[in-house]
C-alpha cells in the first residue's frame, strides 16, 4: 500500500530574483529533506514503513520553489491499522517535522520556540505528550517531536535544509508549504537551526581482573600501550604510577611480550561518531617475563 503527499520547499531573497540557485546549495538541501523525512518515518513507524521523496520537476517563478512528493510504502502489519485513514501516516510524517504546521507543533516550530535556550525540564503527561519548560515558558509537545529533536542525524538534516542556505548572501527566507499550511524561517532565526554538540553517553563502566600481554610499550607521558588478551588487541592508558616509576628507576625490568595481571577498566561510550571503547589499567597486580619456563613444584 503506497501513500503520497505533495509539498514544496521555497527559498526567497534578492539573490534568487532570477529564479536561479546554485546547484551546490540546492542538491545537499534536497538530499537532507529526504534524510529528515526518513528519520521522522523511523521515529513514527520503525521498520513498518519506508519513504521516498521525489522531485516533481516544476520549478516555480517569483522565488525559488521546488515541488516534491513524499511517498510511503506500508508493511501489511501497519496497513491494517490505518485502512480507514489512508493519508494519516504520510501526513503525520510531515507534521512531526513541521512541514505541515496545521497538524500540531512539529520539529521546525519547536526549534524556533527553543531558540537555543537550555531546556529546564521535560515532564511526561501521558498519551504520547510531554510538557517542556524553558525559562518561565511551558509548551505541550508530542514525545515523537522530542525524539526527533534529539536525533543528531535529523538535526544535521535540518541544518543543511535551513541554516546553510540562509547563510548565503541574498537568501533571506526558507518556507515549506503543504496544502494550506506554510512554515517559514527567516534569516534572523537561522542560528537556531545549527546542530548542537552531542554529549557522549556512557553505556558501560566496569573493572575486571585479567591477564594481558604487551605488544607495544611506551613510557612517554600520555602514550598508550598496545596490549592483547590473546584474542583482541587494543590500546590502554597505564594509570599505575607506582609500576611506571619502578620501571623508570630500573627497579623492575619490563619488555615487550611480558605478561601482566591487571585491574582493567573498560568504558563504552556512544558519541556522535558511533560507539567507542576506552581502556585504562588501574593497577598492575603481577608481572612475569614472556620467556617460557619449565614448571617446578615450588612450595612457600
Chain segment 71-117, per-residue pLDDT in tens: 777 554 444 444 444 445 788 888 999 998 776 789 999 999 999 99
* Cβ-based neighbour number of residue 252 at 10 Å: 14
* Segments forming the whole domain that contains residue 46: 2-193
- Calculate the alpha carbon distances from 275 to 65, 139, 198, 252 in Å: 39, 33, 13, 37
E-strand stretches of 81-154? 121-126, 129-134, 137-142
Q: Considering only CA atoms, which of 41, 172, 33, 185 is closest in space to residue 109? A: 185
In a domain, 298, yes or no: no
pTM for the predicted model, two decimal places: 0.67
Residue whose cell numbers read 617446578? 296
Same domain, yes or no: 211 and 130:
no
Of 173, 193, 213, which closes a domain? 193
Of 193, 213, 238, which closes a domain? 193
So what's the pLDDT on residue 56? 72
In a domain, 229, yes or no: yes
Same domain, yes or no: 161 and 12:
yes
So what's the pLDDT on residue 114? 94
Which positions ≥6 away from 48 have C-beta within 8 Å? 74, 75, 77, 78
Give every residue of the chain whose pLDDT is below 50, as ranges: 76-87
Helix (H) or strand (E) holding 271: strand 259-271
Amino acid at each position: 500500500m503506497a501513500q503520497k503527499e505533495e509539498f514544496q520547499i521555497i527559498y526567497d531573497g534578492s539573490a534568487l530574483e532570477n529564479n536561479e540557485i546554485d546547484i551546490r546549495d540546492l542538491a545537499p538541501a534536497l538530499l537532507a529533506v529526504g534524510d529528515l523525512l526518513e528519520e521522522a518515518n523511523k521515529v513514527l513507524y520503525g521498520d513498518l514503513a519506508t519513504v521516498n521523496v521525489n522531485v516533481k520537476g516544476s520549478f516555480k517563478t517569483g522565488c525559488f520553489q521546488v515541488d516534491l512528493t513524499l511517498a510511503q510504502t506500508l508493511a501489511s502489519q501497519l496497513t491494517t491499522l490505518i485502512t480507514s485513514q489512508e493519508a494519516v501516516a504520510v501526513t503525520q510524517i510531515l507534521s512531526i517535522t513541521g512541514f505541515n504546521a496545521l497538524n500540531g507543533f512539529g520539529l521546525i516550530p519547536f526549534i524556533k520556540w527553543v531558540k537555543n535556550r537550555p531546556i529546564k525540564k521535560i515532564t511526561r503527561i501521558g498519551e504520547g505528550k510531554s510538557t517542556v519548560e524553558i525559562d518561565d515558558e511551558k509548551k505541550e509537545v508530542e514525545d515523537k517531536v522530542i525524539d526527533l529533536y534529539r536525533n543528531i542525524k535529523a538535526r544535521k538534516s535540518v541544518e543543511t535544509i535551513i541554516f546553510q542556505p540562509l547563510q548565503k548572501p541574498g537568501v533571506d527566507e526558507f518556507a515549506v508549504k503543504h496544502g494550506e499550511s506554510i512554515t517559514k524561517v527567516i534569516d534572523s532565526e537561522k542560528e537556531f537551526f545549527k546542530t548542537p554538540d552531542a554529549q557522549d553517553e556512557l553505556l558501560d563502566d566496569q573493572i575486571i581482573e585479567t591477564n594481558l600481554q604487551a605488544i607495544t610499550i611506551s613510557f612517554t607521558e600520555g602514550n598508550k600501550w598496545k596490549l592483547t588478551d590473546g584474542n583482541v588487541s587494543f590500546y590502554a592508558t597505564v594509570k599505575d604510577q607506582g609500576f611506571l616509576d619502578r620501571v623508570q628507576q630500573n627497579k623492575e625490568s619490563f619488555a615487550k611480550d611480558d605478561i601482566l595481571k591487571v585491574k582493567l577498566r573498560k568504558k563504552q561510550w556512544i558519541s556522535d561518531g558511533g560507539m567507542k571503547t576506552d581502556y585504562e589499567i588501574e593497577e598492575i597486580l603481577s608481572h612475569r617475563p614472556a620467556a617460557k619456563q619449565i614448571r617446578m613444584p615450588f612450595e612457600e
